Amino acid sequence: SDSEALKVMISGAPASGKGTQCELIVCKYGLVHISTGDLLRAEVAAGTEIGNKAKEFMNAGHLVPDEIVTAMVAARLSCKDVKQKGWLLDGYPRSSAQAESLEKMQIRPDVYIILDVPDEILIDRCVGRRLDPVTGKIYHQNFFPPETEEIKARLVTRPDDTEEKVISRLNIYKKNAEAVSSSYSSITNKIDGSRPKEEVFKDVESLLSQLQQDKVKIVKAG
Ligand code: AP5
């Protein structure tokens, strides 16, 4: 590609911190954040046809059928801002069929980040997660409590964040992880996501800044 804009994929188990790192990445690099989980939750909240189809699967902690998710991602990736600013794909691809769909569309990232977090930490992170429906910001009742009482009063939990459903989501993730990541083995960067979020972000930052410098050089040279 002749563009300097970064193309980043971030993956990892449920509650490994993808959304949290994406907030920080968007803030520093201005990439367009495309989270299939967020897009689907917005469709559910708006009561659209896609949302009504996706709802049962999501609430049960299962994957939504590939066709639905792939059409949604393809539509978002084709928007003009994505070409200009670069993209940050979060939660997609999640199956080998989804990875193949991206190959067919000739969509490849510059880097594939895996946030590596042990299972026993994931359950606590999920069960304690709280979301601000106004700002979209991600909190945790113990690790990242809200800044004010006003925010605290409006926080919501996700219906798929019970211990039982987290275990189901984790099993599905493990079943698919290798098939998906094998498509990107040459550009994979595994980062220890069990540390505090600022430390995790330091690693993400040095990776992306290096990549950005390399891309600028290639574009100028070409
Ligand atoms: P999605 O929303 O993608 O859920 P997920 O992959 O399970 O990931 P999470 O959003 O749970 O976690 P996260 O890694 O973003 O962690 P976060 O930063 O919030 O998908 C939801 C559902 O949609 C799926 O189950 C499926 O049904 C459907 N779906 C989505 N994509 C699909 C696809 N491609 N195909 C089919 N179906 C699809 O952090 C979690 C908590 O931990 C927070 O409370 C946070 O504050 C805290 N935390 C974060 N980082 C740290 C840290 N370093 N230290 C301590 N606490 C931390």
Cα 40 to Cα 148: distance, rounded to the nearest angstrom: 28
Give the pLDDT confidence of 85-98 residue by residue, as tens digits: 999 999 999 999 99
Residue closest to 22 by CA, chosen among 115, 125, 97: 115
Indicate which atom in ligand 1 lies nearest the CA of residue 144.
46
Sign of CA dihedral 163, 23, 99, 206: negative
Q: Which residue minimizes the CA distance to atom 57 of ligand 1?
A: 17
> 19: CA distance to ligand 1 center in Å?
6
Q: Give me the CATH code for the 7-203 domain, please.
A: 3.40.50.300
Contact criterion met (CB below 8 Å) for 8 and 111? yes
Give the pLDDT confidence of 152-192 residue by residue, as tens digits: 999 999 999 999 999 999 999 999 999 999 999 999 999 99
pLDDT tier at 220, thresholds 50, 70, 90:
confident
In Å, how far are 7, 65, 104, 111, 112 from 85, measured between CA atoms?
9, 29, 22, 16, 18
Residue 2 above 60 pLDDT?
no
> 218: CA distance to ligand 1 center in Å?
34
Domain residue ranges in the chain? 7-203
Q: Is the predicted ipTM greater than 0.95, yes or no?
A: yes
> 9: CA distance to ligand 1 center in Å?
14
